[in-house]
Structure 1
């Protein structure tokens, strides 16, 4: 913060304005300011020698600030993807709302949005890769790049596009996949579409394939001021240096924890796992089958990644060896549905909810696992909202269901409606084969709350799922229907 800003903040704090409100005046999209900075000013730890501004200076500053804000602006939390933070990118110039700093290394303007065919989206993919390899940034749709004026989107295509479709385009084009948040904001009545790209912690992001004449296979793109192009040696060396520094820091921290006894070491030659509290031995025959699964915050500080050992292990002490089994495997969508349909009691039910933030499936059972975890819906919803999700739209879908906003209920006409009428009469006949599975699952989606003996549908859906394990499109369609039908049974039994 400049001395002038510090003086203004001091005067506002002296007038009794709360810290978060003061923070709102000085936080900008192009310069995100930590709320702790305002606390430091209030405590005299930051800018202690700067005098407070006068009342007239504060009034003039506030009046000027308000004249530059979109109508209806409210305090921002400071998150880069907040609508208010994005609105702060714009200002009034000559009666028009324009991008405040123009096209920079953090902002790119596009008048129109097109996801398909992929060639039409190639320029955006290239820009997203460039932002991810630098400091992150915004792709602004509905803004004319020549004038930087917010004209607004002329179609609803951006609003109607599922974020999962955007993610699928990125998954097939870039590795590692950048984290992108889709937002729609109103700037003086003009609807602006925004893709906020986070800086990737495992850069460089590399193009997997060529797309038209814009994206080249194997290229590393970087966002420079006003343009995205292939990275220069200096920036690439910087990315590599940062990765090396992070790897050394993580290794040093882990070795300190091992030395302090808070973590154990695994000898991959002998299978011996040794720690301060004791030791166990993994059978040598099992060593090649072990999986190391990266997960968030299940055993360390919240939000920190950890590694979980999955496989058969053998405990060792001085007296005896007992065979034990680590129960939990990698949580897949299929496992979430199957364990519910089989009434399995799982070792870590909360992980069956957390895992849904990292897959494309929006319809997986939740209430069954919530009961096992003995957690209130609003508590689990808050946990999920705090997590960095590989598929934000899937996480948000789970949150909406936990908050009572969405239901798996869907009323299908035709054959499914006839089956529901039979269900209501107590006539539940198992589907005879693949040809009947889709209609049966669609019928189960429409089960009313008054339906009796809901549990009888579990083994029937499980049999349908067993027949839908192919890799063809029809099998995928049946699986999607079965998953949602399982969700309807889940909410009727356990919600």
Structure 2
């Protein structure tokens, strides 16, 4: 752990100060910044994001890449914890936390749409649109999981979904597309949440424990049989060789560790 700072900043280490500096310099809202550092039993001054730049001139800001990796890791850690403890990642509380809306409900996370989130203005009605959603879901499952929000523009402006849209039909349709065209099965959750009087639809895809997820058939021009899709920055694309190698290597390591554990258990039973 990096050396901690003093006074009202004593609970922040120097690495965290560097991260907060860059997040503040990038114009991220104070409450959004604080949400990544405050946790049970830990108190941090609410003035930290606004004063930290002048308070610690000797600490250089973190890079944008370091901030992006930090945010992604913290959201992934929270989502994994939610899954393990039965907490619903698409509950109203969680969605509000993730979007970190301002009081007027019109400001979402600057630059949030990246590795772990995708914004859509509306729920797709055509097969091609549903194919793109299913492809994005598979790509999230092959990476670290992520959210799809419907009723939010690319710039984060919330417009909501039209009351006339049949959300339940969409859930059934997208479930059918995913089940028929991707294997093995990967878990996901769905919900409709009210944000300041506007309804948005939300999908959360868990990182799969059975990677890689691959397309088992052709469906429109957007899903190609035998393809493995992976979430890159702001896009879902066919996986690159290095990322596929990493997935397969981790899978082999899990299999080997499981085999060793089973062997050890048999040996202890025999003894």
TM-score (norm 2): 0.67
Q: Which residue is equivalent to 2:122?
A: 112
Aligned match for 1:194, one of 193, 202, 209:
202
| Equivalent residue runs for 1:325-474 within 5 Å | none
Residue 129 (1) aligns with residue 157 (2): no
SS for the counterpart of 2:130 is helix
Q: Which residue is equivalent to 1:101?
A: 111
Cα 1:219–1:184 change in 2 (3 A) is same
Deviation at 1:96, TM superposition (A): 2.5
Q: Which residue is equivalent to 2:20?
A: none
SS for the counterpart of 1:234 is helix
Q: Deviations over 1:69-111 (max 9, x none)?
A: xxxxxxx995433322222232339982223433110001111
Cα 1:223–1:7 change in 2 (3 A) is farther
Q: Which residue is equivalent to 1:169?
A: 177
2:234 and 2:175 mapped to 1: Cα distance? 24
Deviation at 1:252, TM superposition (A): 0.8
SS for the counterpart of 2:108 is strand
1:7 and 1:105 mapped to 2: Cα distance? 34
SS for the counterpart of 1:192 is strand
SS for the counterpart of 2:112 is coil
Cα 1:200–1:160 change in 2 (3 A) is same
Structure 1 stretches of 4+ with a deviation exceeding 6 A read 24-27
1:165 and 1:8 mapped to 2: Cα distance? 50
Q: Which residue is equivalent to 1:444?
A: none
Q: Which has the higher contact order (CA 8 A, sep 6+)?
A: 2
Residue 141 (1) aligns with residue 160 (2): no
Deviation at 1:177, TM superposition (A): 2.0
Deviation at 1:210, TM superposition (A): 1.9
Cα 1:179–1:256 change in 2 (3 A) is same
2:32 and 2:106 mapped to 1: Cα distance? 22
2:176 and 2:149 mapped to 1: Cα distance? 20
2:8 and 2:141 mapped to 1: Cα distance? 36
Q: Which residue is equivalent to 2:227?
A: 219
Deviation at 1:32, TM superposition (A): 9.9
Unaligned runs of 5+ in 2: 13-30, 51-78
Q: Which residue is equivalent to 2:22?
A: none
Deviation at 1:144, TM superposition (A): 1.2
Cα 1:179–1:203 change in 2 (3 A) is same
TM-score (norm 1): 0.38
1:179 and 1:32 mapped to 2: Cα distance? 29
Conserved? CA contact 1:128–1:178, under 8 Å:
no
SS for the counterpart of 1:89 is helix
Conserved? CA contact 1:142–1:192, under 8 Å:
yes
Cα 1:148–1:25 change in 2 (3 A) is closer
Q: Which residue is equivalent to 2:255?
A: 247
Deviation at 1:132, TM superposition (A): 0.3
Deviation at 1:7, TM superposition (A): 5.8
Aligned match for 1:85, one of 79, 89, 94:
94
